[in-house]
Amino acid sequence: MSGYRGSCPSCGAAIVFALGTSLLRVCEHCGVAVARKGANLAAYGRVAAVLPTPSVLKLGMDGRYEGAPRFTLVGRLQLDYGSGTWDEWLMGFDDDSWAWLSEAQGRFHYMAAVAVPPLPSFSQVRAGQTLDLGSGTFVVTEARRARFMTAAGEMPFDIEPGQILNYVDLSGPGGQFATIDYGTGNRPEAVYVGREVSLAEIGIREIVSEEDRQVRVQGQNLSCPQCGGPIEVRVPDQTQRVACSYCGSLLDATQKFAVLNAAEAVGFEPTIPLGTKGTLDGVSWTAIGAMERSVTFEGVRYPWREYLLYEPQRGFRWLVESKGHWSFVEPVNAGDVRGRATPSHRGIRYEHFQGGQAVVDHVVGEMYWAVAIGDFVTAADYIAPPHMLSFEEDEHNNEITWSRGTYKEPSEIQAAFGLSGRLPRRDGVGPHQPSPWQGRVGAIWTQAVFGAGVMFFIFMWLLFGSMHTVYQQKVAIPPRAISGSPEAAVFTEPFVIERPGNVQIKLSAPVANSWIYIDGALINEETGGLDEFDLEAEYYFGSDSDGSWTEGSNVGAAYVGAVPAGRYVLRLAPQWPPGLAVGNYDVTVRSRVPRFTYLFLATVLLFAWPLLAAWGAFRFHVARWSESDHPVFQSGE
Amino acid sequence: MFKFFVVGLVTCYTMATWFGWEPGSGKRGFIPTEARQQPGGYRSYHYWRGGK
């Protein structure tokens, strides 16, 4: 690095600008911000000491990133966006170039300057807007003003501490981040593009020890100034607000726990006690805070509870409980979400479920942002069970966030956190609760169609390949025979049934407004086996005021089951109405006759299950969407 | 689960069709040997009038 040396205009101490491009440096001796004005140095006045945040970084640390020359942390900038502060570290490379390393909530983002493309002015930018930065399309996630609070080391710009800076944060595809720096004006001055990095990736191996970090945040009053109850702060380096677990008062963790919102009682009792550890998907999380939020629709309040989980390596996650349904929620890079009406993320398309204004009603424990009772966001939920994609835009339209929830069974939550009491009872179907029929109904229908196909094939094969007529005869009833008398009965000629199976005996008689009944028997001549059956044909016709009509048929059939192969005869003993001669009738015997009725009944039985499954899936679907903005059935009101 | 139901039902249908099971059929009887050995055998008048 090609430095610049001079003397502090305030105290005369030596000033060294490590970077040739640095324009501002805080004098290490007197704390005055010294700006380079051409060949001269100008004093901007004393800057405040940096806030004692327990950062793992400090000035002078060095590292290396992606083959670039070695860098050193030469500057630290603290900004305040009104609801909290964050640190930006200036990375000065050996080739005199520089980049930013931003640090917030335990996450680091490397941001390097790129050419400024044509961009709208700051006043024209809105959260959610997409902008082309040359290297891709980015989504504006935040458009804010921040106060340049204080600095240490040197800065690549010449701005007096205390001034308001305009900036826009953007999220791009593949986890990219970008910041448009509008300086103190309305026109873009610089664009930085980068991505989230780990300290190991940028070669920083020695970090500030945990003891040192804790020393920095000690000295805070860890009892509630409202009720005197003890306050346990589990993530002191990132907590901005703490709600007392005893009185519910909301305290500012960045201002020595000043009371922001006094209360006398906690708004709700968390189902998961704060401080409880739970392992979800192999990660041990600690519940450090909880809040109750709600939406009100047509005068009805719909509350839910959100538990803030923390794990040092992964940061923060949420566990959301609504009507007994649980969801594990992770932040999503807005640049990876495509579309808004039916957004897609990681190749999954989501359907809009509901939207509304979500309001913070109660808070308990720690929060990593400056939460306030009554804060509200415009929210929209999109579902693709078991996932839910949630969009939130703050009340000032300055910031948007996307998050993705994954449905969790209550039993899993209970086991993970070792909860002994009863969890809230599940009410109805959760928006992204996986359907028990998911992926099953189609398979069931496929199996049913396959089964029906097999049965139909067997039916057709028997019909055309196995069934055959074994006997056929026209039988004449003696003219003087009496109905039902032995004289009217006949034995047929013997016939052979070659293959076992059922036997159909078919009767065809020229009955007209009459009937014929046959008391029959199929006799195995070889074994004496006897199967009795009844045959009947009746046929009536006529006309009345409605026209002509007919009833019945002059054909009848009987079946005998499981008839062994052998030599058979039929005994046929007919009966008919007295005084109405039938004359003769035809008898046909067929072997191995497929029964369409049985095929039909088996098919009905086969498809009963898929139909019930489809009905169950439909009912689940209706119940799921009943609480949405798009119910399947509209209310009758 | 349903897979087994399908297999079971198709098997039952196939067996019933193949072997010609008829749920409505009455129990198979047998003409006694002595009736078959009488003059006229099972065709005799007495057997069908009251012997069976």
ipTM of the complex: 0.89
CA A475 distance to own-chain centroid: 75
CA distance A356 to A298: 11
- Higher-scoring residue by pLDDT: A313, B2: B2
Segment A469-481 shows an average pLDDT of 90
Query: What is the share, in percent, of chain A residues with pLDDT greater than 90?
Result: 56
Choose among A594, A606, A613: nearest Cβ to B9. Answer: A606
CA distance A509 to A513: 12
Segment A9-31 shows an average pLDDT of 85
Q: Annotate A398-452 with DSSP letters as a single string.
A: -BEEEEEEEEE-HHHHHHHHT--SPPPPP-S--TTPPPTTTTTHHHHHHHHHHHH
- Higher-scoring residue by pLDDT: A174, A511: A511
Residue in B with minimal Cα distance to A488: B45
Tokens at A505, concatenated? 């005996």
Which DSSP symbol is given to A507?
A: E
Residue in A with minimal Cα distance to B27: A531
Q: A253 to chain B nearest CA, in Å?
A: 57
Query: What is the share, in percent, of chain A residues with pLDDT greater than 70?
Result: 96
Segment A516-520 shows an average pLDDT of 94
State yes or no: pLDDT of B39 exceeds 80: no
State yes or no: pLDDT of B46 exceeds 70: no
CA distance A154 to A92: 10
pLDDT of residue A53: 67
Interface mutation target, options B1, B2, B15, B21, chain A, most CBs of A under 10 Å: B2
Across the interface, do A447 and B6 touch by the CB < 8 Å criterion?
Answer: yes
Interface mutation target, options B4, B6, B14, B18, chain A, most CBs of A under 10 Å: B6
pLDDT single digits (tens) B10-35? 999 999 998 999 887 778 888 888 77
Interface residue B24 vs chain A (CB under 8 A): yes
Size of the A and B interface in Cβ pairs below 8 Å: 99
**DSSP helix/strand/coil, A357:** strand
Interface mutation target, options A450, A455, A497, chain B, most CBs of B under 10 Å: A455
State yes or no: pLDDT of A213 exceeds 80: no
Across the interface, do B10 and A455 touch by the CB < 8 Å criterion?
Answer: yes
State yes or no: pLDDT of A70 exceeds 70: yes
CA-based nearest residue to A138, from A72, A191, A88: A191
Choose among A532, A562, A606: nearest Cβ to B6. Answer: A606
Band (A199; pLDDT cuts 50, 70, 90) = confident
Asked if A159 and A75 touch (Cβ cutoff 8 Å), the reply is: no
Across the interface, do A523 and B3 touch by the CB < 8 Å criterion?
Answer: no
pLDDT single digits (tens) A405-444? 999 999 999 999 999 888 899 999 999 999 998 888 999 9
Among A27-36, A216-225, A307-316, A503-512, the range scoring the smallest mean pLDDT is: A216-225
Choose among A530, A560, A594: nearest Cβ to B31. Answer: A530
pLDDT single digits (tens) A561-612? 999 999 999 999 999 988 777 788 999 999 999 999 999 999 999 999 999 9
CA distance A539 to A556: 11
pLDDT of residue A208: 67
CA distance A240 to A247: 18
CA distance A374 to A357: 11
Computed over every residue of chain A, the mean pLDDT equals 89
A531: chain B residues, CB-CB within 8 Å: 25-26, 28-29
CA distance A521 to B43: 12
B20: chain A residues, CB-CB within 8 Å: 500-503, 561-563, 592
B31: chain A residues, CB-CB within 8 Å: 523, 528, 530
Query: Considering the entire predicted model, what is its pTM?
Result: 0.76
Across the interface, do A561 and B31 touch by the CB < 8 Å criterion?
Answer: no
Q: Annotate A543-568 with DSSP letters as a single string.
A: EETTEEEEEEESEEEEEEEEEPSEEE
Among A21-30, A87-96, A189-198, A353-362, the range scoring the smallest mean pLDDT is: A21-30
Band (A616; pLDDT cuts 50, 70, 90) = very high
Q: Is residue A118 classed exposed, middle or buried when 0-12, 13-18 and 19+ CB atoms within 10 A define those classes?
A: exposed
State yes or no: pLDDT of A214 exceeds 80: no
Segment B26-48 shows an average pLDDT of 78
Q: B39 to chain A nearest CA, in Å?
A: 15
Band (A283; pLDDT cuts 50, 70, 90) = very high
State yes or no: pLDDT of A637 exceeds 70: no
Across the interface, do A531 and B29 touch by the CB < 8 Å criterion?
Answer: yes
Place of tokens 């005055």: A32
